[in-house]
Amino acid sequence: GNSVTQMEGPVTLSEEAFLTINCTYTATGYPSLFWYVQYPGEGLQLLLKATKADDKGSNKGFEATYRKETTSFHLEKGSVQVSDSAVYFCAFGGTSYGKLTFGQGTILTVHP
Amino acid sequence: NAGVTQTPKFQVLKTGQSMTLQCAQDMNHEYMSWYRQDPGMGLRLIHYSVGAGITDQGEVPNGYNVSRSTTEDFPLRLLSAAPSQTSVYFCASSYSYGSRADTQYFGPGTRLTVL
């Protein structure tokens, strides 16, 4: 069935370190791919998205490329900040009306 | 715009009690949905609606009811609460359900504890 597998956390980094959070998916058809972020005490908000193979989504210094051949959508940032501390969710959608399938989430903590 | 609003923010129930979690959006979105968030399991879809008067089950619908009498509101009802329903509940909406790339907008969540 459809599923998303995310890199297990928690991930702890120092400020200005490089970040990668791995995400792979299993889906029929050609889903759209998303990264959502959840800051402490808040709901989820869209970080970036990509709708077709080789598309690159980017926002706030974060990037992810839709790799159809490896069914992956890894999240990267070159230099993290303390304010990036949050839970990051990979998700795909578009295979069933409106439904998003989420990964389990990765907790990121950035220390000064 | 207020976006997606949810009430209450926190709730404690005893086993067997009933309650309704409220969700409203002011963006004229067709699609609304309810998710529950549990540690290590991401978000799982409970119920969703593609428009007023139309609802359907998601991945984990048992123990929950929904209705959609207006475009704006999508309440979630727990008829007889169980400890397994202790979770954080999120309501979400998007402009339409037909577009593959529609962004879903989430409410701030309701943290429910069932004793």
pLDDT of B83 higher than 80: yes
Are A103 and B31 inside 8 Å of each other by CB?
no
Structure tokens at A35: 């990264």
Mean pLDDT of B94-103: 71
Closest CA to B36 of B76, B67, B7, B79: B76
Interface test with A, best of B27, B35, B37 (most A CBs within 10 A): B37
Residues facing A24 on adjacent strands: A5, A72
Are B106 and A31 inside 8 Å of each other by CB?
no
When CB atoms are compared, the residue of B48, B107, B108 closest to A99 is B48
| Continuous H helices in B1-115 | none
Are A43 and B90 inside 8 Å of each other by CB?
yes
Window B:66-95, CB contacts with A under 8 Å: 90, 92, 94
CB B19 within 8 A of CB B3: no
Q: pLDDT tens for residues A3-53?
A: 899 988 899 999 999 999 999 999 877 788 999 999 988 889 999 999 889
Q: Search chain A and give the residue with CA nearest B32.
A: A98
State the amino acid at position B3 in one-letter form.
Answer: G
- The CA–CA distances, whole Å, from A109 to A11, A14, B31, B97 equal 6, 8, 33, 34
Q: pLDDT tens for residues A24-37?
A: 999 877 788 999 99
Closest CA to B90 of B42, B50, B51: B42
When CB atoms are compared, the residue of A6, A42, A100 closest to B108 is A42
Are A99 and B98 inside 8 Å of each other by CB?
no
